[in-house]
Structure 1
């Protein structure tokens, strides 16, 4: 896979992973959470968002390692990357809590 294709793959996966906790009631879009009475609470969505952030980071690091030597990153990279992931999650958050009609 070329460098351009891996960059676009990571971007598309980031958008999907950031919005997945907010657009469905299943954990990681696979596991049914039957012990919650009505809907998945916000803390479960945020926990899922954090886990998906680290999974996406692992995938991006694996793609970078496959293309050559990965660059060493400092805490600044991860802070900016985490903020960008939260910005990508904003459309799903708006859909879930601000726009959608709740019965």
Structure 2
């Protein structure tokens, strides 16, 4: 796998995992069926998927480049906020658009 395809794989994975807690309304971690999820449960699931994405990115960088570059706290803060931006479509669907569509 070359570096370009690894970056695209990571971006697609991050987009999917960031939106998953908000799109899967009746599923917890894709396996456990629940009646509904609260905002807190969605945030816990979101943070778990953020951690999984981070581990995947670490392993992918190690495999493609052979080493992992050291990063400071600024990098992790920016990555977290990028993950939040990736989750924006799912968040809007869950808390705004879904209610609007059910009323219409």
1:32 deviates by 1.7
Higher helix share: 2
For 2:22 and 2:89, how far apart are their aligned partners in 1? 9
Q: Which residue of 2 aligns with 1:15?
A: 15
Calculate the aligned-residue CA RMSD, in Å: 1.2
Displacement over 3 Å in runs of 4+? none
Q: Which residue of 2 aligns with 1:51?
A: 48
Q: Which residue of 1 aligns with 2:82?
A: 84
- Secondary structure of 2:28 counterpart: coil
> Where do 5+ consecutive residues of structure 1 fail to align?
none
1:20 deviates by 0.1
Q: Which residue of 2 aligns with 1:28?
A: 29
For 1:31 and 1:3, how far apart are their aligned partners in 2? 35
Number of corresponding residues? 99
